[in-house]
């Protein structure tokens, strides 16, 4: 069996940055077991598989697997998949925006392709409306800080709540007071797994600070996956949750459409830039989206 894939970097401003992703464009004949095996072989945070869909309006059905399990929602995998699909099918591109969609676990997901001079310059994914969990208690925050290799004061000094927020994937958002503290964080994954098991179904911790490398950024973030015990260079679903959190907390200047830039991946030497938008109508969040650039890195074939 030959399975062709395209390699891309997502949320990347240049090659070898952002999140690496392998997209298998013709996965109709791959069952769950084979897709899981391939994802383990590819050794990325996630691997995308494009399958036929019967859902009206969808260009394909998207399945995403990490090394260990299928992931119900992964923003960067969706953006990378649409970028590859557009290139492979020679999709007619209309400036300034071409709208496409795919079938995901929860129905139809829309994606905007921003087009300039016939090229895709940015992709943006609409996420679910935010669902917000309760504020984490003081004792649990202290325990969390220790498990992240932080001081309790590094978190408490922000005066912002630690809580789970989901715009498609539950994420534990952890505010950190300083850039230096966040950069020096050393997670203890076993302790983090035990802690998350007691607060809900989140498996990703998104620690962030409002101190940034770039003055144009709203936050600098690091993402820790407690299932794989690895840090993720760029997490689109988490960035959407964070953008909604910052708007809901009025931790940024809130406008009818609040545009935020989130930087990530520098500790891993894979700098990533994530562009988020939060729409507010009648005092409530009405839309969340996250976008970024995608770079084609090459292609290959698995022969089994």
Which pLDDT belongs to residue 106? 78
Which pLDDT belongs to residue 34? 95
Tell me what the mean pLDDT of segment 216-245 comes to: 95
Does the pLDDT value for residue 73 go beyond 90? no
Q: How many CB atoms lie under 10 A from the CB of residue 89?
A: 11
Q: Are 285 and 278 in contact (CB under 8 A)?
A: yes
Tell me what the mean pLDDT of segment 261-284 comes to: 96
How many domains, the chain?
A: 2
pLDDT band at 220 (very low <50, low <70, confident <90, very high): very high
**pLDDT above 90: percentage of residues in the chain:** 87
Tell me what the mean pLDDT of segment 186-201 comes to: 91
Output the six-digit token pair for 227. 């299932």
Does the pLDDT value for residue 199 go beyond 90? no
80-126 pLDDT per residue, tens: 999 999 999 999 999 999 999 999 887 888 899 999 999 999 999 99
Identify the domain containing residue 237 by its residue range: 131-291
Residues 228 and 146 in one domain: yes
Tell me what the mean pLDDT of segment 231-240 comes to: 94
Tell me what the mean pLDDT of segment 223-228 comes to: 92
> Which residues neighbour 115 within 8 Å (Cβ) at sequence distance 6 or greater?
93, 94, 95, 96, 97, 98, 121
Place of tokens 């994802």: 39
Rounded Cα gap, residues 239 and 167, in angstroms: 9
Residues 298 and 251 in one domain: no
C-alpha distances out from residue 251 to 167, 206, 210, 260, 288, Å? 18, 16, 9, 12, 16
Does the pLDDT value for residue 200 go beyond 80? no
Residues 248 and 272 in one domain: yes
Residues 151 and 164 in one domain: yes
Which pLDDT belongs to residue 5? 97
Residue 188 burial by Cβ neighbours in a 10 Å radius (0-12, 13-18, 19+): middle
Does the pLDDT value for residue 208 go beyond 90? yes
Which of 9-13, 47-51, 101-105, 278-282 is the least confident region?
101-105
Residues 111 and 214 in one domain: no
Rounded Cα gap, residues 278 and 116, in angstroms: 24
Interior/surface letters 58-81, b for 16+ CB within 10 angstroms, e for the rest: bbbbbbbbbbeeebebbbbbbbbb
Residues 116 and 159 in one domain: no
DSSP classification of residue 90: T
Does the pLDDT value for residue 31 go beyond 80? yes
Which pLDDT belongs to residue 75? 83
Does the pLDDT value for residue 141 go beyond 90? yes
Report how many helices (DSSP H) and strands (DSSP E) the chain contains, helices first: 7, 17
| Mean pLDDT rounded to a whole number for the chain | 94
150-178 pLDDT per residue, tens: 999 999 999 999 999 999 889 999 999 99
Residues 92 and 161 in one domain: no
Residues 54 and 187 in one domain: no
For residue 246, which of 193, 294, 206, 187 has the smallest C-alpha distance? 206
Residues 175 and 91 in one domain: no
Residues 40 and 166 in one domain: no
Residues 118 and 144 in one domain: no
Which pLDDT belongs to residue 111? 95
Strands 170-175 and 204-209: parallel
Output the six-digit token pair for 293. 């650039």
| CATH code where residue 95 lies | 3.10.310.10
Residues 123 and 146 in one domain: no
């Amino acid at each position: 069996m030959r399975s062709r894939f395209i390699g891309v970097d997502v949320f990347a401003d240049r090659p070898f940055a952002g999140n690496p992703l392998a997209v298998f464009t013709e996965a109709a004949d791959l069952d769950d077991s084979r897709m899981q095996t391939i994802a383990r072989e590819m050794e990325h945070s996630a691997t995308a598989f494009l399958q036929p869909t019967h859902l009206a309006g969808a260009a394909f059905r998207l399945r995403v697997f990490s090394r260990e399990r299928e992931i119900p929602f992964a923003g960067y995998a969706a953006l990378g998949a649409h970028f590859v699909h557009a290139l492979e099918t020679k999709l007619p591109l209309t400036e300034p925006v071409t709208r496409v969609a795919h079938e995901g676990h929860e129905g139809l997901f829309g994606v905007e392709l921003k087009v300039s001079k016939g090229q895709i310059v940015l992709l943006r994914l609409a996420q679910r409306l935010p669902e917000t969990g309760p504020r984490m208690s003081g004792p649990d925050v202290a325990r969390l800080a220790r498990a992240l290799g932080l001081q309790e004061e590094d978190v408490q000094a922000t005066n912002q709540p630690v809580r789970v927020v989901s715009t498609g994937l539950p994420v534990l958002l952890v505010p950190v007071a300083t850039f230096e503290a966040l950069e020096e964080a050393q997670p203890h994954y076993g302790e983090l797994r035990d802690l998350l098991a007691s607060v809900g179904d989140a498996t990703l911790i998104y620690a962030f600070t409002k101190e940034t490398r770039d003055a144009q950024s709203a936050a600098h973030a690091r993402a820790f996956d407690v299932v794989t015990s690895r840090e993720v260079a760029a997490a689109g679903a988490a960035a959407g949750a964070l953008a909604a959190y910052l708007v809901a907390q009025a931790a940024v200047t809130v406008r009818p459409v609040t545009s935020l830039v989130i930087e990530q991946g520098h500790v891993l030497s894979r700098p990533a830039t994530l562009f988020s938008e939060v729409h507010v109508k009648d005092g409530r969040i009405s839309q969340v989206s996250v976008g970024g650039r995608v770079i084609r890195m090459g292609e290959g074939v698995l022969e089994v």
